[in-house]
Amino acid sequence: MISNNNGFSLLEVVISLFMMAAGVMGLIKMQSYMEVKSYNALKSIDALYLAEQQLEYFRTRAEVSSGVNLISYDDINSSQCPSIDTTVPPEYSLSCKVATIEALSGSAKKITVAAKWSDRWQNQQKVELTTIISRYSEFD
């Protein structure tokens, strides 16, 4: 006897619906994951910009007669970040560490600037930049 069934059975339809639901749930999870990663990337870029701006303030030390308040090499010694021209958004905090490199007779300082913020789950995130500044510049 030959069967003439041309359609799908109810069991096959239910199984295919469950498989599609599992795939859609995976896509929803991936979308939320990508949204969080995108948010963290934007915050990291902003923090990197603030830290770079602070390091540029340390690097641009010179005597300028135009009234611009710049920092001298001898004044780079506190653990507090000097105030930069722009305001830091309230969700970020900047911290600076300055260490004199004694192996070079104190003619160089290692500066570390960290920009910190809290993400959506109140986890502390941080971008940290380090540079070495010499007492002698190419303009001396």
Per residue in 53-71, pLDDT (tens digit) is: 888 877 776 444 455 556 6
Give the pLDDT confidence score for residue 137 in this predicted structure.
Answer: 65
Domain limits for position 34: 10-134
Q: Is residue 17, in this structure, part of any structural domain at all? A: yes
In a domain, 3, yes or no: no
Answer yes or no: is 45 within a domain. Answer: yes
Q: How many domains does the chain have?
A: 1
Determine the longest span between alpha carbons in the chain, in angstroms: 104
- Tell me the per-residue pLDDT of 3-51, one tens digit each, with 9 for 90 and over: 676 777 888 899 999 999 999 999 999 998 999 889 889 999 999 999 8
Amino acid code (one letter) for 139: F
pLDDT in tens, 80-126: 566 665 677 888 888 888 888 878 777 888 889 999 998 888 889 99
Strand order in the sheet with 93-100: 93-100, 108-118, 124-134
Whether this prediction's pTM lies above 0.75 is answered by: no
